[in-house]
Structure formats: C-alpha cells, structure tokens
Structure 1
Amino acid sequence: MKKCAILFDLDGTLIDSTEAILESFHYALRKCSGVPATDKDIIKLIGHPLDFMFAHLGVKKNVDQCVQRYKEHYHTIFTQKTKLLPNAKEAILLAHSFANLAIVTTKTGKYSKELMAYFGLEQYFSCIIGREDVVYPKPHPEPLIKAIKKIDALKEYTWMVGDTCLDMEAAYKANISSIGLTCGYASYTQLQRCSSHIASTPLEAVELIQKICAS
C-alpha cells in the first residue's frame, strides 16, 4: 500500500496548452462579444475557471455563450496544440512508483481525461477532478478534498503540486503540503508569497516528495 499521495494541477504543471487556450479565447471573444484581449491579458488569468476569465477580460453579457464558444473551438484543436512539459512524463512515472496520484484542475474534466489518454498517461491517475465535478473551484479546497477522499489518502501524507497561488492557497485551506512550480504561469516571486516549497519542474518536485515520504 502506498503511503503518500500527490495531487497534480494540469496546465502549467504537467502540460503546456497555452496555444490552444489563446486561440480558443480569441475565437470565442470574436464570436460572442467583440471585446478585445491581448495574449498577456489572457495568460495572467489562466488557472481560473472560464467564466471568471471571460468576466475579467471585460465580457459583460453572454459569458455563458462565450464559454460554450470557447469549448466548441478548444475541442477541435486541444490535442494537436497541447504538449507535455519537460520531464512531466518522467515525473508521473516516478510519482506513481511510490504514491497514489490524482489530477485537480479547473479545466473541464472531460478534456483533461482525453488529454491524459492522448499522451498515454491516464492509467497512472486514480481520479481526475475537473471544473464540472465541484461547486467551488480552486482556491477553494473542495476539489482537493474531493480528490483526497476518492483516492483514500491521508492529508498528512498528501501533496499538491501546481504552478499558481490558486493551487497553493487551496492546499493550505485543505491542510495539505504543497510545492509551487516555476515552469508554469506564476513567477518565482509570486510563488514565494504563497508557497514554502518551490521547484523548477514537476520531476524536481516529485523527487523532493519521494525523499520526504521515504523518511
């Protein structure tokens, strides 16, 4: 029986889907609102739910329609325009050798599962918690707590690995340890404000957790 558990965020932690996200946002904004947004405007909001992102980009009406347009386009391009981050596969394989694994993301769970299957990695995760699986997304602890219960993990041996302060805040509220990654959408300086452990890659984070779990 594996003592430890690791909850991984997805975008900016295991995968880089920036191209697919940006293209889908620009498509949706053209179709449903006409509100202009730069790539920089969109990138700084990645990690939040889609409705939150559209609202904070200035969409006043038809937010739900924009979300639907986004999903329609994203589903046609997301596998071709998403790639694993460096060392992500190695991190997952190593983590699976000593810990139970789950993905906790604000991305739609359906797309998250399809992506992991596309990369041949779905079988390593005991569960994948997406936006549609919870009432309150990160930074609320609900998604993490739900994953912990599903994989029957103990909080004192559970880690959250993510790339934004949304992940770190959710981990703090769920009373579990966390590691912030600089390979995603938050800077080292931003992560310093919300995480006591920082790593440059998911593999580096998993290696640290392995050492702690073995002690």
Structure 2
Amino acid sequence: MKKIEAIVFDFDGTLAELTIDFDEMKKRLKALGRAFLDPLPEKTDIPALEWVDYIASCLADEDPDLGKEFHTRCRFLIITMEVEAARNGKLFPFTCDILSSLRNSGIKTGIITRNTASAVRELVPEINDISGCFLSREDVQNVKPHPEHLFKALEVIGVEPANTLMVGDHPMDIETGKRAGSMTAGVATGRMSVEELQKAEPDFVASNCAELIQLLEKEGLIMNK
C-alpha cells in the first residue's frame, strides 16, 4: 500500500454529526411528487438527489417546463431541510484536531459532500480554512459516488488518487474512492455500523476518524508530528 499524501473526507456523518432525516426528506419529496405525477414511478432504490432528477426527467418528457418546476421545488425543499439540520448539528470533538494535525504532518486534506454549501457553512463558516479543499454538490457536475467529485478535489490539492485515502461513513463514499482509484476507509459515525461498512470492502474500517488516524499512524502510512 502506498504512502498516504492526502486524505479526503465526507462531511455529514464523518466530520460532523449526521442530523438530516433522509427518510423524512424522501417522504416529503414523494408527497410533492404526487402533486405532479400520480401514481409515481416505482423508483425507491436511489438517493433523494437522483430520485428528484429521475422524476423531473419523466415529467420533462411530456412537459419540459413542468419538469423544471418540479426540480426547482424539490431542490428548495431539500436545501431547506439541510440548512435546518445544520442549525442543530455540530462537528465531532475530534474533527478540528485531526485536520490540524494532518496539516502539520504534511498530509493534504479535502472535504467533499453531497450537501449544499449553505448548510455546511451554516454549521462551519470557516469550512474553507480548516481544509485544503471544500467541494459541495454545487461545485461539481456529478456528485459522489461519481469519481468526478473526488477527482476535482485532488486536482485542487495536487495529489494523485493512488496516494489518497477517501474517508466516509457510507458505502457510497467507499464506492467513490474505488471508482477514482484511491484507497478507502469507512467510519461508523453515521448510519452504518462497522459490519455494514466492511461489506463494501474498504481498505480500512474504524469506529470514528480519530480511531482511523491512530490506525494509519500505527501502520506507518502517516506520521504524527
């Protein structure tokens, strides 16, 4: 395994407490969707953002303006819930210390999230200062698990995927790293347990980011200064 030169983190559930109620979000989106298209197509196996895009495309086939209206109203609903959740959230106690320690040891860092930038900045106004790169969903055309999200962050901080560790609390984060060709790690501080994360076959699994950093130091993949 190559020496780690950069660590890119997911945000919600990885560096900050996961406070977004995704089940409630999907419930509200479906209620809105039925006002536009009833019955709704059976498509429950995809995340909320992709579901909105799918339903909007179905509507746009018949009426492009209706598809745009649905998409806009759904995005407004999602952003409202994200910002509200951020107001009740907080960083994990170890987050700032980890990011600072990595910077001092010469490890570059990045943060990528499917969340909206306004919600993240509601919680952490200094988000651009605590990491070498911050990219929300508004900053890329294709959000994770599409590798573009990670590729763009690595372009900003100047590190190759093979020398990067992608860290997140969901199998989607592990998939992102694998598709980009980076090393991967899962942390059980979100919705998934260690056992559930292990099924995605990351290179490392830990209960939280602090434990993960200790593991990497023990393995000699990063240095503690």
In which range does the TM-score fall when normalised by the shorter chain?
A: 0.7 to 0.9
1:163 match: 169
Q: Give the conservation status (yes or no) of the 8 Å contact 1:21–1:74.
A: no
1:132-151 maps to which residues of 2 (within 5 A)? 132-151=138-157
- Are 1:212 and 2:216 matched, yes or no? no
- Uncovered stretches (5+) of structure 2, i.e. residues with no partner: 36-43, 60-66
1:51 pairs with one of 28, 49, 54: 49
Q: Give the conservation status (yes or no) of the 8 Å contact 1:165–1:191.
A: yes
Q: Give the conservation status (yes or no) of the 8 Å contact 1:140–1:173.
A: yes
Shift of 1:146: 0.6
Q: State the number of aligned residues.
A: 198
Shift of 1:140: 1.5
Shift of 1:66: 2.2
- Percent identity over the alignment is 26
Secondary structure of residue in 2 paired with 1:82: coil
1:56-95 maps to which residues of 2 (within 5 A)? 63-64=70-71, 65-75=73-83, 77-95=84-102
Q: Give the conservation status (yes or no) of the 8 Å contact 1:29–1:66.
A: no
1:9 match: 10
Change (3 A) 1:207 1:152: same
Shift of 1:181: 0.5
With the length of structure 1 as denominator, give the TM-score of the two structures.
Answer: 0.75
Q: Give the conservation status (yes or no) of the 8 Å contact 2:18–2:190.
A: no
Moved more, 22-31 or 89-98: 22-31
1:180 maps to a residue whose letter is: G
Shift of 1:32: 6.3
Q: Give the conservation status (yes or no) of the 8 Å contact 1:28–1:67.
A: no
2 CA distance for matches of 1:109 and 1:158?
Answer: 23
2 CA distance for matches of 1:83 and 1:157?
Answer: 30
Change (3 A) 1:67 1:169: same
1:104-143 maps to which residues of 2 (within 5 A)? 104-117=112-125, 120-143=126-149
Change (3 A) 1:20 1:189: closer
Shift of 1:86: 4.2
What RMSD over aligned residues (CA atoms) do the two structures have, in Å? Answer: 3.2
Secondary structure of residue in 1 paired with 2:88: coil
Secondary structure of residue in 2 paired with 1:123: coil
Change (3 A) 1:173 1:200: same
Shift of 1:129: 1.3
1 CA distance for matches of 2:53 and 2:186?
Answer: 26
Moved more, 19-28 or 91-100: 19-28
Which of 1 and 2 has greater Rg? 2
Shift of 1:184: 1.2
